[in-house]
Amino acid sequence: MSKHLLSTTAAAVLLSASAALACDAPIKVGVLHSLSGTMAISETTLKDTMEMLVEQQNAAGGVLGCELEAVVVDPASDWPLFAEKARELLTVHDVDVIFGNWTSVSRKSVLPVIEELNGLLFYPVQYEGEESSKNVFYTGAAPNQQAIPATDYFLEELEVEKFALLGTDYVYPRTTNNILESYLKEKGIAADDIFVNYTPFGHSDWSKIVADVVALGADGKKVGVISTINGDANVGFYKELAAAGISADDIPVVAFSVGEEELAGLDPSNLVGHLAAWNYFQSAESDANEAWVESWKARMGEERVTNDPMEAHYIGFNMWVNAATAAGTTDVDAVRTAMYGQEFPNLTGGTAVMLPNHHLAKPVLIGEIQEDGQFDIISQTTEVPGDAWTDFLPESAVLKSDWKDLGCGMYNTSTSSCVQIKSNY
């Protein structure tokens, strides 16, 4: 660590002496995404994204006059291996920053290592919140940037009165549904009007659940489905939905885990009009997005699509580059301080801002599925600041994360004390 610090201070001194500095070693960027195992398909895309971003940055002159080098490791969708690989990246490869992880459990696995070794992780996927680590920047959506606005859309625009919360049985749907239940009750929806169901990963037999959802309409209230169903279980779910002839006008479904990539696994013609909520859709209309989609397709092939976590990495990476440039070093603590308030244009228009709670302020988009597997954006909010601790659960409402001024990720505002410096894992 001290060696590292020495070299960076030395670099800073040299920098001030002469702007044109030749680097003795490239700056290393760790990429911690599964390239094999169940998560490979989602995460491989992000690995390719990172390699593309690093290449683009190098073409633009690198960072601090140094070339960037992507160090790619494969944690193989094996959660303990994530911790091992993170340790390897930080101690063996001496990377300055890590971009990685997809599932919450992999993040929880990595957290203790990152905090112990004072690393820096950019996490690009929408997640359940209820966490704040000094060493992690969450560039994906917190529940209030995806779930809550989508629920508001259901309540206000579609006038849904009865909710079916369907999810795969793991932490993200569990926590999100918990938050939503409490939010809906606050909005005056009776407990009887909320139906919750959890299914295993890769579930395929959906007939009974779909029938249950249809039966919810029997008391004359408009039913809406909020789906946190993960991965390929969606294929069977949407097929059953289509077979039961449920149109989006009767029972709309809004999904938080279905994006452009997932729709490739089924024929979307029967799903037209169902919804998804994200911070980014490929169909977003902006010049930056057009260029981004173009360079992605040029690199990966015409049939490839872009999605929300890719945009999160795009923003996260560029913010890191700018923060490192502003700090004049890639030292973790200096970069972290420089990160607060960093601004970078979103691909969907508007500007993302890094908040002191390590979350981004980003707009929330709601899209309707179209015949071609793309989304038609029908609603776009202004930038919503990400909230680490939800306001809709009593235990979390009193908590606040502010690493900039309070230096604490779990600050209890009612007792005015920091519950813990390290994150909970």
Partner 1 sequence: MVRFFCLWLLALCGLLPLQPIQAQSVDAPIQQLLQTHGEIIAKSSRKSIGPAIDALAGSGLPEAQVVLQRWQDKEMWVGKDTGLFVFGDKDGKELLATDVADGSTLGPFVAKDFKQLKPNSGIRGMIAAALVQFQLSNPDPIVRLTALSAIERDAEASHLTALRASIDGEPNADILARKTRLERLLTIQFAEDDVERIAAIKGFDGDLGVDVRAALNPLATTQIVASDTPLTGSDIRGIIAPGSDGFSETDAYALLVADDKAKPIIDPEDQKQILVANINGGSVAGFPVSTLDTQIARDEAYAALAAAGRADPVATQAETATILAGFTFYERYIGAPPNVALAAVAVLSNIENKVAVNQAVDLGLDALSLASIYFLAAIGLAITFGVMGVINMAHGEFIMMGAYTGYVVQLFVPDYTLSIILAIPLAFAVTFAAGVAMERLVIRWLYHRPLETLLATFGVSIALQQIAKNIFGTQARPLTAPGWLDGSLIINDIVQISYIRIAIFILALLFLALFLIVMNRTRLGLEVRAVTQNPRMAASMGINPDKINMLTFGFGSGIAGIAGVAIGLYAKVTSEMGADYIVQSFMTVVVGGVGNIWGTLLGATMVGSLQKGIEWLNPSNTLAAQTYMILFIILFIQFRPRGIIALKGRAAEA
Partner 2 sequence: MPKDATSSFGEKYLGGSGGLAPQSVGAKGVETTFIAKHPSVLIFLACLAVFTIGVTILAEGFGIGVISTSFVKTLGKTLCLCLVALAMDLVWGYCGILSLGHMAFFGIGGYAIGMWLMYARTELIVLSSLANAPLPPTPDEITNGIATQIFGVVGASEFPPIWAFAHSLSLQLAAVVIVPGLLALVFGWLAFRSRVTGVYLSILTQAMTLALALYLFQNDSGLRGNNGLSGLQNLPGLDDVPQSAVSLWFFWASALALGAGYLVCTWVVSGKFGSVIRAIRDDEARVRFLGYSVETYKLFIFTLTAILAAIAGALYYPQAGIINPAEIAPIASIYLAVWVAIGGRGRLYGAVIGAAFVSLLSTWFTGGQAPDINIAGVTIQWVDWWTVLLGLSFVFVTLFAPKGIGGLFDLIPRRKGETS
**Residues at the site binding partner 2, with contacts judged by CB under 8 A:** 35-36, 72-74, 76, 78-80, 83-85, 87-88, 91-92, 104-105, 108-109, 111-113, 116, 128, 130-131, 169-171, 174-175, 177-179, 198, 200-201, 395-396, 412, 415, 417-420, 422, 424-425
Contacts of 245 (CB under 8 A, 6+ apart): none
Closest distance of CB 271 from partner 1, Å: 12
| Smallest gap from residue 144 Cβ to partner 1 (A) | 20
264 binds, among partner 2, partner 1, none (CB under 5 to 8 A by kind): partner 1
HSE-CB for 383 with a 13 A CA cutoff: 19
Cα atoms found within 13 Å of the Cα of residue 12, Cβ hemisphere only: 15
User: Distance between CA atoms of 399 and 265, rounded to whole angstroms?
Assistant: 40
Tell the smallest beta-carbon distance from residue 103 to partner 2 (Å): 8
Per DSSP bridges, beta strands 223-228 and 194-199 are unpaired
Asked whether 221 and 161 are in contact (CB, 8 A), the reply is yes
Residue 196 touches partner 1, criterion: CB under 8 A: yes
Tokens for 384, please give them: 């919503």
Q: Which is nearer to partner 2, 14 or 418 (CB)?
A: 418
User: Is residue 372 at the binding interface for partner 1, with CB under 8 A as the rule?
Assistant: no
**Residue 1: CB minimum distance to partner 1, A:** 38
Q: How many residues bind partner 1 (CB under 8 A)?
A: 63
Site for partner 1 in 239-258 (CB under 8 A): 239-240, 242-245, 248-250, 252
CA distance 185 to 275: 23
Nearest-approach distance from CB 129 to partner 2, in angstroms: 9
Q: What is the DSSP string of 383-408?
A: EEE--SS-SSSHHHHTEEEETTTT-E
| 359 binds, options partner 2, partner 1, none, Cβ within 5 to 8 A by partner type | none
DSSP string across 327-371: HTS--HHHHHHHHTT-EEE-TTSSEEEE-TTSBEEEEEEEEEE-T
Least Å from the CB of residue 320 to partner 1: 29
Question: Which listed option, partner 1, partner 2, none, makes contact with residue 396 (CB within 5 to 8 Å by class)?
Answer: partner 2
